[in-house]
């Protein structure tokens, strides 16, 4: 366990108060905002939001690429007493419709092209839809001002939707304190400073994607958001903007490691941070050779508690497969099957305790009770803990190692994917009678989606039509890499489809 915060925990919108007025804070296509500009824009957007959505605690969703709106809205909504619901810009209408309905969003602000894909019935009647340019223009025309909030830091500030192993995406409830302490923790162990420049590559709808903004601003540094088209765009951005900090997921690191990096450009990077899956030993060694001056931070986390562990860069070369130890403000326990602290080297469940633990799943007490349970008696924090379902072991030197994932979640290219959601989309086409989605090991993706299906009787051209229909209904990261057609599905002793048998067969 790392020590408790020595600094006061404040409402999330106070992050913009920390930087020097004249220092660069945010680099947009339209120009550079210093901290004084950033404070003005957040204040102005918050005043407009408060006028348009006066109900305290109402949810405001965003569905847009990285830009002024998506970078400022998390803080502006918090200042206005609202709850931000960031929607992954890669999602398509069915997933967006579920998030809007489930969260009870009062407003959706999005890019015009994305909003045009929403059909009748996708947007609840009580949810206003506003195009991103119109919202920013209205906030500017209003010219209002809203000072820093004085809300209780334990109040709800955001709902981040993440897929479970079954069912549709569930909304993780994050308080101001959760995100403030997450920013402080990451800024602390990464050693971020006011002269750091962070290339924000990860989606801002992810917990660590948002933290790219928050931790950098906590340290008084500058954020450069980037929606890249090609991995080579990262090399150009690092050179152009003098980037010091780069976060990515393993599949992107594979691509990054295959690029031609001029030594001077590579030398600008001070730190590399990894999330969304484990780095292979070969990839660690390749990155260390390519960026010898950069500190490499492998990390493990889960949206339900933000981040749990990181590996000290000084240990990466000698312990490349370790998850490391607890981050600041986190207490990480390994609990064996008897419900007791596991011995050194003994496998157990990773249990996360402390103030980074989120408030549960939005309007889902059943699934909240399954994951959020009382902390073990051995916890120094007590209260509610996240029981991750992940199997780990702690060695005598205190370092943690990942053993396996208990649930059936597919983790591909840093995305957590619900097998059931893919299966439901396949069945909804009417082309298949049965469907099973599995994740199989893939060198570039971590896991690749494989879909096993049995054609529906009488279906016309199902092998040609199914991929086309799925492309219309599912985002790219959920698309099956391979579709396996079967005349019959294997049945297990319980009368259900033998998913384990299929997994074993396809992995062979």
Q: Give residue 494's pLDDT.
A: 60
Residues 6 or more apart whose CB falls under 8 angstroms from that of 92 comprise 117, 472, 473, 474, 475
pLDDT interval class at 165 (50, 70, 90): very low
Rounded CA-CA distance 151/191 in Å is 29
> Of 151, 174, 209, which residue constitutes the final position of a domain?
151
> Of 86, 117, 151, which residue constitutes the final position of a domain?
151
Name the least confident of 292-306, 311-325, 407-421, 429-443: 407-421
Average pLDDT over residues 212-226: 98
pLDDT interval class at 163 (50, 70, 90): low
More confident of the two residues 2 and 204: 204
Q: Per the domain annotation, does 133 fall within a domain? A: yes
Asked if residue 226 lies in contact with residue 235, where contact means CB atoms within 8 angstroms, the answer is no
Tell me: pLDDT of 184 over 50.
yes
CA dihedral 92, 93, 98, 103 (to 10 degrees): 90
Tell me: pLDDT of 103 over 90.
yes
Rounded CA-CA distance 303/171 in Å is 10
Tell me: pLDDT of 243 over 60.
yes
Q: Per the domain annotation, does 146 fall within a domain? A: yes
Query: Residue 82: which domain range?
Result: 29-151
Q: Give residue 7's pLDDT.
A: 80
The CATH number for 477's domain is 3.30.300.30
Tell me: pLDDT of 369 over 60.
yes
Rounded CA-CA distance 117/370 in Å is 35
Is the alpha carbon torsion for 176, 178, 180, 183 positive or negative? Answer: negative
Average pLDDT over residues 388-398: 95
Q: Give residue 424's pLDDT.
A: 87
Beta-carbon-side half-sphere exposure of residue 423 (alpha carbons within 13 Å):
20
Q: Per the domain annotation, does 441 fall within a domain? A: yes
Average pLDDT over residues 218-237: 95
Q: What are the tokens at 496? A: 């259900």
Place of tokens 């259900």: 496
Asked if residue 277 lies in contact with residue 250, where contact means CB atoms within 8 angstroms, the answer is yes
Q: Per the domain annotation, does 147 fall within a domain? A: yes
Q: Give residue 93's pLDDT.
A: 92
Average pLDDT over residues 258-270: 96
Q: Per the domain annotation, does 1 fall within a domain? A: no
The CATH number for 65's domain is 3.40.50.980
pLDDT interval class at 259 (50, 70, 90): very high
Question: If you average pLDDT over every residue of the chain, what do you get?
Answer: 94
Q: What are the tokens at 16? A: 């913009």
Please choose, from the candidates 3, 45, 38, 31, the residue with its C-alpha nearest in 3D space to the C-alpha of residue 17: 38
Strand partners, 245: 198, 271
Dump strand ranges (E) for 116-169.
128-131, 156-162
Tell me the CA distances in angstroms from 47 to 51, 141, 386, 439, one per residue in order.
6, 11, 36, 45
Q: Per the domain annotation, does 114 fall within a domain? A: yes
Average pLDDT over residues 412-432: 90
Backbone angles phi, psi at 501, to 5 degrees: -65, -40
Tell me: pLDDT of 166 over 60.
no
Average pLDDT over residues 181-185: 98
Q: Per the domain annotation, does 107 fall within a domain? A: yes
Rounded CA-CA distance 284/235 in Å is 19
Place of tokens 């062979």: 508
Q: Give residue 1's pLDDT.
A: 44
Exposure string for 416-430, b = 16+ CB within 10 A, e = fewer: bbbbbbbbbbbeebe
Three-state DSSP class for 303?
Answer: helix
Backbone angles phi, psi at 50, to 5 degrees: -60, -35
The total number of structural domains in the chain stands at 2
> Of 102, 129, 151, which residue constitutes the final position of a domain?
151
Average pLDDT over residues 164-170: 64
| Residue 296 C-alpha from the chain's centroid | 20
Q: Give residue 409's pLDDT.
A: 78
Tell me: pLDDT of 294 over 90.
yes
Asked if residue 303 lies in contact with residue 207, where contact means CB atoms within 8 angstroms, the answer is yes
Tell me: pLDDT of 433 over 60.
yes
Q: What are the tokens at 482? A: 């391979």
Tell me: pLDDT of 293 over 50.
yes
Tell me: pLDDT of 406 over 70.
no
Average pLDDT over residues 447-452: 97
pLDDT interval class at 254 (50, 70, 90): confident
Rounded CA-CA distance 251/92 in Å is 22
Read off the DSSP letter of residue 420.
H
pLDDT interval class at 491 (50, 70, 90): confident
| pLDDT tens track for 58-73 | 999 999 999 999 999 9
Tell me: pLDDT of 343 over 90.
yes
Q: Per the domain annotation, does 222 fall within a domain? A: no
Quick one: what percent of the chain has pLDDT higher than 70?
Answer: 97
What would you measure as the largest C-alpha separation in the chain, in angstroms?
Answer: 68
Please choose, from the candidates 148, 256, 142, the residue with its C-alpha nearest in 3D space to the C-alpha of residue 201: 256
């Amino acid at each position: 366990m790392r020590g408790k915060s020595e600094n006061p925990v404040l409402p999330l919108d106070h992050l913009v108060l920390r930087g020097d007025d004249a220092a660069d804070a945010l680099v947009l296509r339209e120009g550079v905002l210093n901290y004084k500009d950033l404070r003005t824009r957040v204040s102005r957007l918050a005043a407009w939001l408060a006028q348009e959505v006066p109900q305290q605690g109402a949810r405001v969703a965003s569905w847009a690429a990285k830009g002024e709106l998506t970078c400022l809205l998390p803080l502006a909504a918090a200042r206005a007493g609202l709850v931000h619901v960031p929607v992954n810009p890669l999602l398509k209408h069915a997933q967006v419709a579920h998030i809007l309905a489930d969260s009870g969003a009062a407003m959706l602000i999005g890019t015009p092209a994305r909003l045009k894909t929403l059909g009748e019935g996708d947007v609840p009647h009580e949810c206003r839809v506003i195009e991103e340019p119109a919202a920013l223009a209205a906030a500017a025309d209003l010219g209002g001002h809203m000072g820093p909030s004085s809300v209780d830091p334990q109040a709800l500030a955001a709902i981040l939707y993440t897929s479970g192993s079954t069912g549709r995406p569930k909304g993780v409830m994050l308080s101001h304190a959760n995100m403030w302490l997450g920013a402080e923790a990451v800024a602390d162990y990464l050693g971020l400073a006011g002269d750091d420049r962070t290339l924000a590559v990860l989606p801002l709808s992810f917990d660590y994607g948002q933290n790219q903004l928050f931790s950098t601003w906590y340290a008084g540094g500058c954020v450069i958001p980037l929606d890249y088209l090609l991995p080579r765009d990262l090399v150009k951005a690092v050179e152009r903007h003098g980037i010091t900090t780069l976060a990515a997921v393993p599949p992107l690191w594979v691509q990054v490691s295959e690029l031609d990096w001029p030594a001077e450009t590579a030398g600008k990077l001070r730190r590399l941070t990894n999330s969304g899956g484990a780095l292979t030993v070969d990839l660690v060694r390749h990155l260390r050779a390519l960026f010898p001056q950069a500190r490499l931070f492998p990390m493990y986390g889960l949206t339900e508690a933000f981040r749990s562990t990181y590996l000290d860069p000084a240990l990466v070369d000698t312990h490349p497969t370790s998850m490391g130890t607890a981050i600041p403000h986190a207490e990480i326990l390994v609990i064996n099957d008897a419900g007791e602290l596991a011995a050194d080297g003994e496998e157990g469940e990773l249990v996360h305790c402390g103030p980074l633990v989120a408030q549960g799943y939005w309007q889902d007490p059943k699934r909240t009770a399954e994951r959020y349970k009382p902390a073990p008696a051995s916890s120094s924090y007590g209260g509610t803990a996240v029981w991750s379902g992940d199997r780990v072991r702690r060695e005598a030197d205190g370092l943690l190692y990942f053993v396996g994932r208990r649930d059936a979640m597919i983790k591909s290219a840093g995305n957590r994917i619900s097998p059931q959601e893919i299966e439901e989309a396949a069945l909804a086409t009417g082309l298949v009678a049965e469907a099973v989605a599995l994740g199989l090991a893939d060198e570039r993706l971590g896991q690749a989606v494989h879909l096993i299906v049995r054609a529906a009787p009488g279906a016309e051209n199902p092998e040609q039509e199914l991929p086309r229909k799925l492309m219309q209904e599912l985002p790219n990261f959920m698309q099956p890499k391979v579709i396996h057609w079967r005349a019959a599905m294997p049945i297990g002793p319980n009368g259900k489809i033998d998913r384990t048998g299929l997994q074993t067969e396809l992995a062979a």
